Copies of this chain bind each other. A is one copy, B any other.
Amino acid sequence: MSLLINPRDLNFLLYDLLEVESFCDWSAFGEHDRATFEAVIDAAYRLAEDGFAGHAARLDANEPTFDGERVHIIPEVAEALAAYIDSGFMGTAFPAEYGGLQMPYTVSQAIASLFTAANIGTAGYPFLTTAAANLLRVVGSEAQKQRYMVPMIEGRFFGTMCLSEPQAGSSLGDIRTRAAPQDDGSYRIVGNKMWISAGEHELSENIVHMVLARIDGASAGTRGISLFVVPKVRVNEDGSLGPGNDIRLAGLNHKMGYRGTVNTVLNFGDNGACEGFLVGEPGRGLAGMFHMMNEARIAVGMGASVLGYSGYLHSLAYARERPQGRPPGQADPESRPVPIIEHADVRRMLLTQKAYVEGALSLCLYCATLVDRLEHGPDVDDRRRLRDLLDILTPIAKAWPSEYGLKANDLGIQVLGGYGYTREYPLERLYRDNRLNPIHEGTNGIQAIDLLGRKVTMNQGRALQVLLREIRGTADRAAADTRIEDHARALGAAVDTVEQVTEALREAADEPARYLANASLYLDLLGRVVIAWMWLRQVQAAQRLDQTTEADFVAGKRQACQFFFRRELPAIEPLAALLIEHDDSALAMQARWF
């Protein structure tokens, strides 16, 4: 069986839970049917397993180096990416008119997740390219699309996202990179960018940097920020390559994980000759970026889910094979050791992983379907509801999987014991890789503030009401099914708890520091409720499957759901108590007391 994502489960999530097949009825995806989705996903499984997974450990152990002139990357990366590009994976979700496969975002995310699970270090290059190209798709001019986006879809150019600076990580309003307008309509870019993944390499003909900068004279803060496309090599009007641009690799960052994706510090315009081109309107750079933010954050959650998922499958395979110890009460030392999956505590660790990663993945894929429905769905009147759901779920889809996917990897290591701690098995690498996800694309602390400070309050709390109505709807329907009525009741009570907590918080709405003090607890609370909802929905979908041929699969879903409802959902009660009483244990702590 695949050690990336259980194919039966991915199939179940896409078609049985999320009914992605029905997207083929929409005009955007009219060229597709379930068979073409399955064929592309199958091809992704094969390439991920045959072309990506094999060199993941070697790439991790031999991270890119910079000799002062060039960046060196082990050759397997270029080989894998050539095959990836040849198969058209760079453009799975892009419009056919630009050379893409024009598949639903949901399907493209499922595909991406297989490459993530196999080898995030290698997959990072095309993922950044897709992100840069997608930004141009949404905010670029037609000429910019032709000049930069199409070559990225073709895999000739790769891309980057240049947001952070050394002094401005989470606080983009403080970036200092400047853009001076030139007579020819271009801009001279000067500044330093930090944490730029895939910022320099020789894997592609060109690198297209999407750069946030301030046009001279722009106001301070986020409203003064514009977006620029800044190519490593200038591109002539006919698409041919011109002279190099003034961009210098100042150094590499060396990370705990994600080691295969070269991470750089870039200096733009050290010699005053860095040419950039405005994308969209001046001062609208962050707005353009934020337009993509939901997708970027869902993608992080997806990545975190599947790094956890692959770790789960590796530890499951090990637990089935490894004999050690005997059942409690078996005192005969001559008896044969049993596979460790027979031990209750190992089963607990495996089931916890299953509950986390299958729950997290279902949430991220669900959010991806919201993106598709919003952009291409036929029901125009439903868009406000979909937008509300996507807005309020995005910080949860980013943060919850990145926290609990990592916990899953932690448990995966523990199942293997000492072996899990060695680099002979992929568990420790997955764990190191996954540790990035609570940090990038907005730390989970930022997500918590986004959720409670913005998403819960905007439009008089409409988005939260929409979400809770959805969840209550699921609970109400499940209440009529005796097999899951207990869970239905618990989920309904959990929605009540969310309402009480949110109401209690509202009392402090005019004291921002107090209102937001426990935002992380609120995020964890609502995340648990949302994942419980996803689990109940999964069980409902599983119960519609053939209960004979799929008996084990269905039983596994039921048991994982029960596990989540019994072991993870009840933790919302202590969280709710803290939130309701505006617990100030952390807020009241003074810096000098530490």
Report whether B414 and A445 are in contact in the complex, using a CB–CB cutoff of 8 Å. Answer: yes
Contacts of A167 in B (CB 8 A): 323-324
Contacts of A571 in B (CB 8 A): 571, 574
Report whether A222 and B164 are in contact in the complex, using a CB–CB cutoff of 8 Å. Answer: no
Contact among B219, B223, B342, B594 with A591 in the assembled complex (CB-CB below 8 Å) = B342
Question: Whole-angstrom distance from the CB of A542 to the nearest CB of chain B?
Answer: 12
Report whether B574 and A515 are in contact in the complex, using a CB–CB cutoff of 8 Å. Answer: no
Report whether A516 and B328 are in contact in the complex, using a CB–CB cutoff of 8 Å. Answer: yes
Contacts of A449 in B (CB 8 A): 328, 345
A453 interface contact, C-beta 8 A? yes
Contacts of A27 in B (CB 8 A): none
Report whether A566 and B589 are in contact in the complex, using a CB–CB cutoff of 8 Å. Answer: no
Question: Whole-angstrom distance from the CB of A284 to the nearest CB of chain B?
Answer: 16
The main secondary structure of chain A at its interface with chain B is: helix
What is the 8 Å Cβ interface bit string for chain A, positions 417-459, against chain B (1 contact, 0 not)? 1101111100010011001101110011100110001000000
Report whether A345 and B519 are in contact in the complex, using a CB–CB cutoff of 8 Å. Answer: yes
- Take A329-B513, A520-B345 as given contacts and tell me if A552 and B592 are in contact as well, using a CB distance cutoff of 8 Å: yes
Question: Whole-angstrom distance from the CB of A399 to the nearest CB of chain B?
Answer: 11
Report whether B169 and A324 are in contact in the complex, using a CB–CB cutoff of 8 Å. Answer: yes
Q: How far is the CA of A327 from the CA of B515 in the complex (A)?
A: 12
Contact among B170, B515, B559, B583 with A589 in the assembled complex (CB-CB below 8 Å) = B559
A37 interface contact, C-beta 8 A? no
Chain B residue with the shortest CB-CB distance to A325: B171
Q: How far is the CA of A346 from the CA of B586 in the complex (A)?
A: 9
Contact among B220, B432, B515 with A256 in the assembled complex (CB-CB below 8 Å) = B432
Report whether A421 and B435 are in contact in the complex, using a CB–CB cutoff of 8 Å. Answer: yes
Contacts of A257 in B (CB 8 A): 421
Q: How far is the CA of A414 from the CA of B443 in the complex (A)?
A: 8
Question: Whole-angstrom distance from the CB of A122 to the nearest CB of chain B?
Answer: 19
Chain B residue with the shortest CB-CB distance to A317: B594
Report whether B256 and A594 are in contact in the complex, using a CB–CB cutoff of 8 Å. Answer: no
Report whether A421 and B436 are in contact in the complex, using a CB–CB cutoff of 8 Å. Answer: yes
Contact among B333, B339, B351, B439 with A173 in the assembled complex (CB-CB below 8 Å) = B333
Contacts of A35 in B (CB 8 A): none
Name 23 interchain pairs, CB-CB below 8 A, sorted by A.
Answer: A195-B418, A224-B333, A255-B428, A320-B591, A328-B512, A328-B515, A329-B513, A341-B594, A342-B591, A345-B445, A346-B445, A347-B587, A352-B586, A354-B594, A413-B439, A417-B443, A421-B439, A432-B432, A552-B590, A552-B592, A556-B594, A559-B588, A570-B577
Given contacts A164-B418, A348-B518, A571-B571, 16 further A-B contacts (CB under 8 A): A167-B323, A170-B324, A255-B421, A255-B422, A344-B518, A344-B587, A345-B520, A350-B589, A352-B586, A410-B435, A414-B438, A552-B592, A566-B585, A570-B577, A573-B573, A573-B574
